[in-house]
Amino acid sequence: MNKFSIVIFGASGDLTKRKLMPALYSLYKEKRLDDEFAILGVSRTSYSDDEYRTYILQELQEFMKVEEQDIELMPRFVAHLHYISMDPALESGYASLKERLLELSDKRNFNDLLFYLATPPSLYGVIPLHLKSVGLNVAGSRIIVEKPFGYDLQSAEELNHIYASVFEEHQIYRIDHFLGKETAQNLLAFRFANGIFEPLWNRNYVDYIEITAVENLGIEERGGFYETTGALRDMVQNHLIQLVALAAMEPPTVFNADSFRNEVVKVYESLTPLTEEDLNEHIVRGQYTENGIKRGYRQEKSVAPDSRTETYIAMKLGISNWRWSGVPFYIRTGKQMPTKVTEIVVHFRETPHQMFHCAEGTCPRANKLILRLQPNEGIVLKIGLKVPGTGFEVKQVTMDFSYDQLGGLPPGDAYARLIEDCIHGDPTLFTRSDAVESSWRFFNPILQYWKDHPDTPLFGYPAGTWGPLESEAMMHEHGAEWTNPCKNLINTDQYCDL
Ligand code: BG6
């Protein structure tokens, strides 16, 4: 008898094969899932149960690292899969869905139900209402919704309203997979489990903070989705702003869902509202263009040949509170960059006076702390030390911690961690309704500005480069510059400022 069922809407889609199934398989392999469970895939594509199992088995082989695959275990995992073909937009299919779920439970009561919405965002408002119409929003049920939650402030408020009419807030899990990353969580431990950095972590000692989440891939097969989304909605309003919150928040009094999420909301509410000048000068958007064998965005499948969707965005934001007033936070994200890297760089203020000569032109007057979330997960502190020998020349060197020293990261990625938390009813690492709305409240004026000023510049950058030069210029007024890790970095000595 199954004790719980996971229903995946969008079961034949990209997210399911690339992320959800590998995550569920890895939980199963690690014995972090009870053996008595069923996964019911829902989508319009027609499959029998067996065909769906075969399809997922093939995709697991494609998308999981070879060392994580277990030839004997994978067929046992896919035996838990079931499938129902229906259009989730239409209410008519939901009675059969309910029947199927009853068959998979003890036929009288539902087991614990977890609904995962891995569909296009246009269905996020419809599915919960249809679930309610057939009474599937039972007390033990939970729903995970992918980002972007809403298209702007108004649609996010409307979605929150719909969800609140179907589920209690504690049943709603708005997922932002960046919070599931071990290294993002470690940022909290780094800041709040150590005494030495926290006294420096404020406007008196920090000059500026950079947050980068860039990728060396284009939009691949997701042109249709991306055309209506763009980098601001896809990455900035959720992932990047979450990282800002982790870097800037006050220590929660205790570490539980409410305290932690209260502090996140406080950061969002302290974001300095954007002025006309900010909207004009402190936001740079770009779109990748053809470069050698790399396609430009406008040549991608399902993208309009004159599309003005941004694939890159860099912006400066401020936090108006006692800790951060006057400290710029520079954030950026982009597709088709030279490498994939997500990191936070904290630039400390310069020493007031430098009495040493600097070796090799590297004047280490300011210390830099790099929290690298991926890849080569680790923490690097840049400090100035004396070059051995006569004289007093100083050089910048790195102190380097790598996760490998802790035995590496646990198996399974962010999705495995978050799905497991949801199964155990722990919403700490999921976004609360008020956080979604206050984040949108901050970003909404940008969307409005672009709508009102369709001629706002969209800078082209050749695919495989670090984005529009205007984003460098934006930082110069503060004497700042982006930290660009070298392509294919293997270890931290290869950091370079290009
Ligand atoms: C997703 C975005 O949320 O995050 C993608 O929709 C992006 O466009 C991805 O590629 C990046 O996540 P990660 O974990 O690979 O850095």
Domain of residue 94 covers 5-146
Same domain, 212 and 262: yes
Residues at CB less than 6 angstroms from ligand 1: 177, 215, 234, 342
Residue 13 in 3-state DSSP? Answer: coil
Query: What is the DSSP annotation of 404-455?
Result: GGGT-PPSS-HHHHHHHHHHTT--TTSB-HHHHHHHHHHHHHHHHHHHH-TT
Single out the residue in 128, 146, 164 at which a domain terminates: 146
pLDDT, residue 494, reads: 44
| Angle at alpha carbon of residue 373, lines to 143 and 260, rounded to 5° | 50
212 and 134 share a domain? no
- In the structure encoding, which two tokens stand for residue 94, read together? 């939901």
DSSP secondary structure of 190-201: HHHS-TTTGGGS
- Residue matched to tokens 């409240």: 441
Is 36 a member of any domain?
yes
Sign of CA dihedral 147, 280, 289, 330: negative
Same domain, 254 and 368: yes
Q: Give, for ligand 1, the residue of 18, 177, 217 to mutate: max count of ligand atoms closer than 8 Å to Cβ.
A: 177
pLDDT at 120: 93
Distance 36 CA to ligand 1 centre (A): 31
* Non-local CB neighbours of 355 within 8 Å, separated by 6+ positions: none
Quick: pLDDT tens for 32-57. Answer: 887 789 999 999 999 999 999 999 99
Judge if 56 and 197 occupy the same domain: no
Gap between the Cα atoms of 267 and 443, Å rounded: 14
Strand order, beta sheet including 142-145 = 81-85, 37-43, 4-9, 112-117, 142-145, 172-174
In a domain, 172, yes or no: no
Number of domains in the chain: 2
Counting ligand 1 atoms within 8 A of each CB, the residue from 235, 288, 374 with the most, and so the one to mutate, is 235
Shared domain check, 332 and 199: yes
Contact 381, 399 (CB under 8 A): yes
Note whether 122 and 216 are same-domain residues: no
- One domain, residues 118 and 188: no
Residue 442 lies in a domain: yes
Q: What CATH number is given to the structural domain containing 114?
A: 3.40.50.720
Out of 125, 146, 167, pick the residue that ends a domain. Answer: 146
**Long-range CB pairs of 101-105, under 8 A, 24+ apart, other chains included:** 101/5, 101/7, 101/40, 101/136, 104/2, 104/5, 104/38, 104/40, 105/1, 105/2, 105/5
Residue 448 shares a structural domain with residue 305? yes
Q: Which of 308, 319, 289, 323 is nearest to 463 (CA)?
A: 289
Establish if 27 belongs to a structural domain.
yes
- Listed residues 102, 121, 146: the one ending a domain: 146
18 in a domain, yes or no? yes
Same domain, 97 and 195: no
Give the per-residue pLDDT at 408: 67
Residues 192 and 307 in one domain: yes
Q: Are residues 125 and 228 in the same domain?
A: no
State which ligand 1 atom lies nearest to the alpha carbon of 413.
Answer: 14
* H/E stretch holding 343: strand 341-350
In whole angstroms, what is the distance from residue 435 CA to residue 249 CA?
Answer: 13
Q: Is residue 158 part of a domain?
A: no
Contact between 447 and 274 under an 8 Å Cβ cutoff? The reply is no
- Report the phi/psi class of residue 463: left, alpha or beta, with left for phi > 0 and alpha for psi in -120 to 50: beta
Tell whether 395 is covered by a domain.
yes
Say if 497 falls within a structural domain. Answer: no
Do 142 and 185 reside in the same domain of the chain?
A: no
Judge whether 88 and 95 are in contact, CB under 8 Å: no
pLDDT at residue number 497: 41
- Catalytic positions are 239
For residue 156, how far is its CA from the centre of ligand 1 (angstroms)? 20
CATH of the domain at 310: 3.30.360.10
**Which stretches in the chain have pLDDT values below 70?**
1-2, 106-111, 359-364, 408-412, 486-498
Centre of ligand 1 from the C-alpha of residue 234, in Å? 8
> Taking a C-beta distance cutoff of 8 angstroms, is the pair 428, 188 a contact?
no
pLDDT of residue 495: 45
